[in-house]
Amino acid sequence: MPELPEVEVVRRGLERWVAHRVVAEAEVLHPRAVRRHLAGADDFTHRLKGHRIGTPSRRGKYLWLPLEDTDQSILAHLGMSGQLLVQPHAAPEEKHLRIRVRFADEVDTELRFVDQRTFGGLSLHDNTPDGLPDVIAHIARDPLDPLFDDEAFHQALRRKRSTIKRALLDQSLISGVGNIYADEALWRARIHYERPTSGFTRPRTAELLGHVRDVMNAALAVGGTSFDSLYVNVNGESGYFDRSLDAYGREGLPCRRCGTPMHRRPWMNRSSYFCPKCQRVPRVSS
């Protein structure tokens, strides 16, 4: 599942290769890939035709392409295995090619949505006054957004009767932090994932947010994490931040800080990786 850094890498690729190009024709090769566009594949392709793509935007893991001169955007759902590839026209069709967008210019590239498991897809949605697709209006700003409000996040943590990893994954509080980067940031901050949020002090929240941003920026710098070979960025190159992970996937390996073997525990149908020495289990569990 791509997380914020992977999606931002894709967004930057689209900004470079697709923004400001006019759609000549879109082609849907598998109806499941546009199932979230309730009016259907013909309506989807008809509405794209002749419109210029604006600057690709992102909030958390959500990515969209505004259609200029309309109040609509194409929302990309990458799901588990979705890829947006920019390919030369003559490149062979990918086995799981679902949607193809050709542009009305001389540039020899087209946009392809490829998805092996077809959990993802593209859909058109009306924009809110803020320019967000209406279906994601409830998603909070992400920690790399300059308008993210650290103090409001801290107050929300204090009010919530929750535990910290649960809060980090709550998209209405903070978006874009998934399982991997939550474990990484908590390891860096030496905080156990079950620590109750009600006891967080302002400095502790600030320190944790700092680590969340650091780990995301570090992942961005190397093109995102590629723990799953299905994830590739817009040009088909895998990220390789997985080589630098300190917590996620390191069960039984020595903690890079203290040498204690790392633990893995089942957590909400996923796993949490942590160092039992650096990240002490809280005495009072909520």
Q: Rule CB under 5 A: is residue 275 a binding residue for Zn ion?
A: yes
Q: CA-to-CA distance for 76 and 124, rounded, in angstroms? A: 9
Q: CA-to-CA distance for 274 and 199, rounded, in angstroms? A: 20
95 as an active site residue: the answer is no
Q: Which of 11, 21, 61, 98 is catalytic?
A: 61
The site map against Zn ion for 20-49 (x = CB under 5 A) is ------------------------------
- Fill in the DSSP letter of residue 41: H
96 annotated binding-site participant: yes
Residue showing tokens 């200029």: 68
Q: Rule CB under 5 A: is residue 255 a binding residue for Zn ion?
A: yes
State the number of binding residues for Zn ion (CB under 5 A): 7
Contact 187, 279 (CB under 8 A): yes
Q: Which of 104, 137, 221, 258 binds Zn ion (CB under 5 A)?
A: 258
Q: How far is the CB of 81 from Zn ion (least distance, A)?
A: 34
- Of 76, 67, 72, give the one whose Cα is nearest residue 13: 76
264 as an active site residue: the answer is no
Q: Which of 52, 141, 270, 277 is catalytic?
A: 270
Alpha carbons within 13 A on the beta-carbon side of 192: 17
**Torsion angles phi and psi, residue 269, rounded to 5:** 65, 10
203 as an active site residue: the answer is no
User: How large is the greatest C-alpha to C-alpha distance in the chain, in angstroms?
Assistant: 64
Q: Which stretch binds Zn ion (CB under 5 A): 54-62, 107-115, 233-241, 251-259?
A: 251-259
Q: Rule CB under 5 A: is residue 257 a binding residue for Zn ion?
A: yes
Alpha helices in the chain (DSSP H): 4-17, 41-48, 150-159, 164-168, 179-189, 202-221
Q: Rule CB under 5 A: is residue 277 a binding residue for Zn ion?
A: yes
CB of 202 or CB of 257, closer to Zn ion = 257
Residues in touch with Zn ion (CB under 5 A): 255, 257-258, 260, 275, 277-278
Q: Which residues are catalytic?
A: 2-3, 61, 270
